[in-house]
A and B are shown apart, each in its own frame.
Chain A
Amino acid sequence: MTMPASGASPVLEARDLQKRFGDRVAVDGVGFTIAPGETYGLLGPNGAGKTTTISMICGILARDGGTVSVAGQPVDVGTPAAKATIGYVPQDLAIYPDLTARENLSFFARLYGLKRTDAKARIDDVLEVVGLADRAGDRTDQYSGGMKRRLNIAIGLLHRPQLLVLDEPTVGVDPQSRNAILESVEALGREGMAILYTTHYMEEAERLCHRVGIIDTGKIRAEGTRRELVAMVGQRDKVKLSATGDLGAAAQTLAREPGVADATANENGLELIVDDARGLLPRLLQAAADAGLTVSTVEVVEPDLEAVFLHLTGRALRD
């Protein structure tokens, strides 16, 4: 995952967003920016305020406070021109079941202001991207759940938005479709699109997102790259080596390696606490061999966002 060019002016700037429904505060002071080509993940459990935040960013929901601008234009419910810069993929499927995929795409393409001929070309493009070209003439009520999800995403891509907003696009999707969706999102990010991606699957956030905001009860609790977030809670990677040889001596040798915080021997081998397991691994294996160990298996356990979330909120991401 390559980091996007820093220094460019952000595509999205959201500041101090506020929303309450009656007495319930759904979003309380949420703000973040997304640079061109950056994928930003909003990770949080059910009811955290992800959809509410996104709805305000896309100008679907009137906000109680805060500001949103996309590509330098302020966005609100009544700003049609600014909305043209955003591609929105809602959490709930937003397609017409009694129309074909092509009719769905064509309707939204025209609604986003594409000319008839441009629309046709773009529809073919996005159908290709989500892999539905051969089923484009079918009514969408005959689609599988995964196909519907993919069409739902395709609609958001039609007008080549500067900011693509995806609200839990993989919920209820089989692993194969899910992988296809994640690959498409990765490809779009590489093309330079700014992407806001909400999820409560931390694996998705880890795989796709350059930066992640952890949201809970309407507030961003922490923000940063995965590594920054993990460092924030003081957790390090763990490397487990199954090995035979003089384990006690090897542990002492390896503990002196730079980047290794601790090394202990147990009945199967060694357990190391390190700063960057993936980066250190070749050197560690070399050092283990030098210390006379025969390593049979290697297991790397990296602390994940799940752990970060647990640390920040005292609760698991999913119940």
Chain B
Amino acid sequence: MHAALLIAAKDLRQRVRDRSAIVVAVIAPFALAAIFGMLIRDGGTEFTAHYAIIDDDGGPIAAAFIDGPMAALADPETGVAEIVDVASEAEAREQVDAGELDAVILIPAGFSDAVLAGGGAKLAIIGNTDSTLGTEVARAVSSAFMDELAAIRLSVAAVLEAQGRTPDPAYAAELAERAQQSATPVTLAGTLADSRQMGATTFYAASMAIFFLFFTAQFGALSLLGERRGGTLPRLVAAPIPPWAIVAGKALGSFVLAAVAMAVLVASSTVLLGATWGDPLAVATLVLGAVVAAMGITALITTLSRTEEQAGNLNSIAAVSLAILGGAFFPLGRGPDILQQVSLLTPHAWFLRGISDLGPAGTGIGTVLLPIAALFVIGLGTGAIGLARAGRLVVAR
């Protein structure tokens, strides 16, 4: 172990002396995250939908919908939408066509009565075709409200019936009140809007961090090829240390550099760029998983290569392709389904999904166990082969 520490310390000293390593590990990802974050923020990747509501009904159930889920959706603190006042349905439709509104929700006349009578009630959504997410949220909230309503209506009716009372105004009031309090539609909307959509700053901090991580994490395995080319490997093997200590030292050096670089990036993007990574323990574990995955993949590629140059090129190709596939350069939410499936083979997708799932306040490590597990499986699987090959490289010469 002592020997592994000595080798790791020697490697890190060489790395730090080589300024370009620091640029790749910390400065470049931070700078790019800052630039992308600034460029995109004004464009508004932060999701806010604009809705108009046309209430032709005016009844208690319509009011419950407007004051309940729709009001919560438009909450300035936690909401994801703004409710815009419009004079008429015609004007609302115009604004939808002009792209100023994401959707119009039409509450038809007789809506409340239809609900109370037990059927045939419908909310109409007129959506902007360019705003799939906005329309989707409006549709989801409305249909969830309707489902909720159906369930509540049944239970309220059952209670009233048990009490031997016939439907009356009290029934309508109770139904409306309970429907308004129902939280499901809002939660749903929140999940839909937040889950795959983190703030631009955090997204780019995370994506640049994991993109450059692949360049930082490769150095241990690369330096093993370097020691072989430079002639120092036989000298290490001749030293009175077990051969595995050489591989362990290389892995340790890589790990420390990568982990420190990631920690610096998380901290600096939080303090200087305002990124919100989320629960520290969960973020630390995700970062650990990402480091292990990046080390595993680059170690595998490097130990399959013959020269450092070849390994460096292949690692770069892998870093860029995996980043693209994994949605580190542009969010995958917009791509076709097949791309989303393929992306799950990349550590990038899992890491970004993990960080994004941590977005809503109060979500802890329990929420991101799957991404964490995926990262470690990818890392340990590729890393095991990489380690075995590195071991053979040391002994066979």
Contacts and interface: CB of A to CB of B under 8 A. Distances in A.
Contacts of A83: 238-240
A19 to B, nearest CB: 11
A94 B227 CA distance: 9
B240 A80 contact: yes
A110 interface: yes
Contact of B231 (A81, A94, A103): A94
A102 to B, nearest CB: 12
A97 B17 CA distance: 12
A143 B236 CA distance: 22
Contacts of A61: 397
Nearest to B226: A96
A62 B243 CA distance: 12
Interface in B361-397: 395-397
A94 B14 contact: no
B241 A92 contact: no
B280 interface: no
A107 B397 contact: no
Interface in A147-162: 155
Given A80-B241, A111-B239, A96 B6 contact: no
B314 interface: no
B203 to A, nearest CB: 37
B237 A59 contact: yes
Interface string A141-185: 000000000000001000000000000000000000000000000
Contacts of B7: 111
Given A60-B397, A111-B6, A96 B239 contact: no
A96 B240 contact: no
B233 to A, nearest CB: 8
Contacts of B232: 94-96
A123 to B, nearest CB: 15
A113 B238 CA distance: 13
Count chain B CB atoms within 10 A of each CB in A60, A77, A88, A90 and give the residue with the most: A60
Interface string A24-59: 000000000000000000000000000000010011
Given A88-B235, A108-B239, A55 B397 contact: yes
A84 B240 contact: yes
Interface string A77-119: 1101111101010101111111100010001101111000000
A41 B243 CA distance: 29
B230 interface: yes
A58 B238 contact: yes
Contacts of B231: 90, 92-94
Contact of B14 (A96, A112, A113): A96
Contacts of B235: 88, 90, 94, 108, 155
Interface in B239-288: 239-243
A59 B238 contact: yes
Contact of B237 (A77, A84, A107, A112): A77
Contact of B240 (A62, A81, A94, A155): A81
Interface in B199-243: 230-232, 234-243
B238 A60 contact: yes
B13 interface: yes
B3 interface: yes
A108 B236 CA distance: 8
Contacts of B395: 62, 77
B243 A78 contact: yes
Contacts of A82: 240
A103 B234 CA distance: 18
A90 B230 contact: no
Count chain B CB atoms within 10 A of each CB in A55, A82, A88, A96 and give the residue with the most: A96
Interface in B1-46: 3, 6-7, 10, 13-14, 17-18
B293 to A, nearest CB: 29
Contacts of A110: 6
Given A55-B234, A80-B241, A107-B6, 8 more contacts: A78-B242, A81-B240, A94-B234, A99-B10, A99-B13, A108-B239, A111-B6, A155-B235
8 contacts: A62-B396, A90-B235, A94-B235, A96-B230, A98-B18, A111-B7, A111-B239, A111-B240
Interface of B: 3, 6-7, 10, 13-14, 17-18, 230-232, 234-243, 395-397
Interface of A: 55, 58-62, 77-78, 80-84, 86, 88, 90, 92-99, 103, 107-108, 110-113, 155
Task: Give me the 5 closest cross-chain CB pairs, A-B, nearest first.
Answer: A92-B231, A84-B240, A94-B235, A88-B238, A80-B240
